[in-house]
Amino acid sequence: MVTKAKISNQSLETELGDSVRIQTMQSEKRKSYSVRIAVLGGGHAGRGLAGYLALHGFDVSLYNRTLNNVRGIIERGGLDVYGVINGFAPIRIVSDNMEETIRNRDILIVTVPAQAHSFFAYRMSPHLEENQLVLLMPGRTGGALEFAQIAGVCPDGDYALLGEAQTFSFVSRTTGSSSVLISKIKNRVQVSAFPATRNQEYLSRLKVLPISLVRANTVLETGLNNVGAMLHPAPTILCAGLLESKHGGYNHYHDAISESVGQLIERMDTERVKVGKHFSRNPMTLLDWLQDAYGAEGESLCECLRSIDAYDGVGSPDTLQHRYVLEDVPTGLVPISRLGKLCGVDTPAIDAVINIACHLYDCDFWHTGRNLISMGLLGMSLLDVVEYVQNGKRPIEVASLQEGWDLYEIEVDDI
């Protein structure tokens, strides 16, 4: 079903305090862009991005697989946006119909949690048009590789231009049925095409977007600079008792990441960077990324996080059924560990967190998470993988599917 939201010229002016300069974008002053964008996913991230782009004059369509969850946007005719930018953002099409949402759209931005990428790849593949650009924001680890496998996007073809971002560009939260708060825009976010030989074209077409995107060498550089996998699962798991008994109510970044938990995350991050050095010239440490993206200050992870104002108002999960584990373990920690095994790097701290998650959730994330099969890397050597993400060329001989499953006969706590 497709519902065309009624366009409104109303602008919203909100008082945030004398110290905050209000930026209200009036409809008549808004620029108009010929590039048409589809935002796929109507959660915190998708609403923030759709509202931000619409306020900048883009024709934006918004897809959500459960239409009732975006009913308020349909009835309002768009989104009321607060924070770093303020105004009413008209959204022309709000839909649960994939074909109608992405038809004749130039840029398709997927903003859903990464464990839903496979669903979106299946839904999008019959409707992708020649020369459309697909951006997974974020791809987490191996997102573009998995998407290409499912959607049948040929890396060396012209059918669709595929790539991913290292993380999401905003800190945004839904504040009502038709409103969203954007509290921070990151200084810059890494982006790469798959294959990397199309990076110049990919970044050139993304330059029209009013957000700061910089080129990464390959999608394994963006994927192995997956900071969410470092910041989210371990603190959430270690706060499981408090989270369940109090239903959250704390600040994830400031309260759950104490000095000792921060030290564990830094050990995990050291392992991630060691893996990244085999696939990328520029793996970033978590501390470097926080300083680059937010201007964080401090010697330890705990100190850096406490210096970031954008995290002051961030709450916590109120249930263990949250993307901080359900996304970041299977699409972050598991593929990082798998790629570590491929290049001969041990990841004991990362593996320990995965194993605890398996027991806590009674779910074998080792089997449900992304692996070399789902990423299309089965049977490849390290050099084969580097060549594949760079040029889209597969080696002639790869392992059989049965050999692949034999490779992944790993039980919890076996490693």
Question: Would residue 124 count as lying in a domain?
Answer: yes
Report the C-alpha gap between 240 and 246 in whole angstroms.
Answer: 10
Question: Would residue 412 count as lying in a domain?
Answer: no
Residues 57 and 80 in one domain: yes
Copy the structure tokens of residue 159: 């059918």
Q: What is the DSSP string of 25-92?
A: --GGG----S-EEEEE--SHHHHHHHHHHHHTT-EEEEE-SSGGGGHHHHHHTEEEEEESSBEEEE-S
Tally of domains within the chain = 2
Domain limit, last residue, from 224, 251, 286: 224
- For 16, 57, 78, 212, 281, the CA distances from 22, given in Å and listed in that order, are 7, 19, 20, 22, 42
Residues 271 and 349 in one domain: yes
**In the prediction, which pLDDT does 176 show?**
96
**In the prediction, which pLDDT does 397 show?**
60
Residues 336 and 289 in one domain: yes
Query: CATH number of the domain that 288 lies in?
Result: 1.10.1040.10
Residues 238 and 216 in one domain: no
Residues 323 and 256 in one domain: yes
Domain extent for 297: 228-407
Query: CATH number of the domain that 218 lies in?
Result: 3.40.50.720
Residues 79 and 165 in one domain: yes
Question: Would residue 415 count as lying in a domain?
Answer: no
Contact status, residue 347 vs residue 385, Cβ threshold 8 Å = no
Copy the structure tokens of residue 394: 């597969």
Per-residue pLDDT of the chain (415 residues; tens, 9 = 90+): 444 443 333 333 333 332 233 343 333 345 667 899 999 999 999 999 999 999 999 999 999 999 999 999 999 999 999 999 999 999 989 999 999 999 999 999 999 999 999 999 999 999 999 899 999 999 999 999 999 999 877 665 556 899 999 999 998 999 999 999 999 899 889 999 999 999 999 999 999 999 999 999 999 999 999 999 999 999 999 999 999 999 999 999 999 999 999 999 999 999 999 999 999 887 899 999 999 888 999 999 999 999 998 888 788 999 999 999 999 999 999 999 999 999 999 999 999 999 999 999 999 999 999 999 999 999 999 999 999 999 998 886 654 444 444 544 444 443 3
Residues 206 and 318 in one domain: no
* Sign of the alpha-carbon dihedral angle for 285, 287, 290, 292: negative
Residues 32 and 178 in one domain: yes
Q: What angle do CA 280, 281, 286 make, to 5 degrees?
A: 80
Contact status, residue 230 vs residue 305, Cβ threshold 8 Å = no
Copy the structure tokens of residue 26: 């009036």
132-136 β-sheet, strand order: 2-4, 93-95, 59-63, 36-40, 107-110, 132-136, 160-165, 189-194, 213-215
Residue 210: alpha-carbon gap to chain centroid: 18
